[in-house]
Amino acid sequence: MPDAMPTHLLPRTALVRWFTDTGLDLPAELRVRLILTLLPSVASLAIGGLAMLIIEIAAAIRHPGPTFLGLLAADAGLFVLRLGLIGRTQRVMARGGPAPTDLLLASSLVWAALVGSSTVLCFVSGDPLLQVLAPLTMMGILSGIVTRNYAAPRLAVAMIMLCDLPLKLVLPFHYGDPWFLIGTVLGLLFGVAMTVTTVRLTRGYVEVLLAKQENQRRATHDALTGLRNRVGLMEDLAARLPLREADVLALLYLDLDGFKAVNDCLGHAAGDALLVQVAGRISATIPAEWQAARLGGDEFVILAGGARAHEAASVAARLIEAVKAPYDLGVGVGLSVGIGWATPGMSPEALLAEADAALYRAKAAGKGRLAAMPPPRGPATRLGWA
């Protein structure tokens, strides 16, 4: 189905979880989507990582010694580690598993600290080449942080401060001139400005995601009952068909008996209220792993899969009893059910048509009844239909 839940885990480490939290009350699915935007791609990691490595290689060549060689070794090791973490994430996702995110996100903070340290060491070296190139490279990295990590304001601001603030703090000590405290103050003001900016960007991005999520929900869900609509049902069927080996899938087609009289006698408002109550009874009766949908009018469909698919007939019988029970509106309706069974190679439209044909037979037999084709043969179905 479109826009399925991304296969990433929310951070488990308390500190990393705090850094990536937006501070907003959001559903888990949306928080995972925000985390997904924070994970670097191989291209973005390579651009930023190689840029700093080039500066550090130049520094190590121009100033041989343990300082720049150690810095180069640490940054190169982190670069390789982060590439390995991205590769592991991609492999886990390819297997359909949830990819861990803690180490990859934490490594972003460590890398930002190394960028800040490298910039300071290059600047205090007194080498004009390094004094120009290192801050310029750091500023380019800052722009990437702002544009990529705004989904987590705390993480973005922390990375910005780790990259930028060390140089601003060192300036007055390096030159021995208190006038350079202006640079320190400007660095702090820059941090405040970036905090405000990233928070605004985060809220705007979240609003866009929520609007998109709501539009998708409206496109696939019935506005009256909250159940899946025809579009959502066909998406679900397309995702389940064709059947995998040993899968069992049934489709229950439901139609209310006597609903037209409710609309004619009490009006459409009462009819809508009754449909909402019927939808509630259907959802309460079927197993949790089954999917209920309203096709329109007084027609409902239930997608019955999983380990309890063979219980389709017994659940249908319970649905008939549940729906015909009295309502607080002072009216009553009945229920007819037709069951179609998916077979290998069957299309969603064919399965829906088979269930509809079974419903027609139930209606023709006197309504308030169940009609079904024999279920496909298999270990699970033989147990339920012995």
Q: Which residues are the active-site residues?
A: 298
Mark residue 312 as left, alpha or beta (left: phi above 0; alpha: psi -120 to 50; beta: remaining): alpha
Contacts of range 320-323, beta carbons closer than 8 Å, 24 or more positions apart = 320/368, 320/369, 320/370, 322/281, 322/282, 322/284, 322/285, 323/256, 323/278, 323/281, 323/282
13 C-beta neighbours (distance < 10 Å), count:
13
Of the candidates 105, 132, 126, 192, the residue with the CA atom closest to the CA atom of residue 157: 192
DSSP three-state, residue 24: coil
Q: Phi and psi of 63, rounded to 5°?
A: -135, 75
Tell me if 334 sits within 8 A of 367, measured CB to CB. Answer: yes
Contact 368, 336 (CB under 8 A): yes
As a residue count, the chain comes to: 386
Cβ(301)–Cβ(228) below 8 Å:
no
Helix (H/G/I), strand (E/B), else coil: 252: strand
The residue whose two tokens read 């060549």 is 61
Which residue, among 300, 291, 325, 336, has the nearest Cα to 1 in the 3D structure? 291
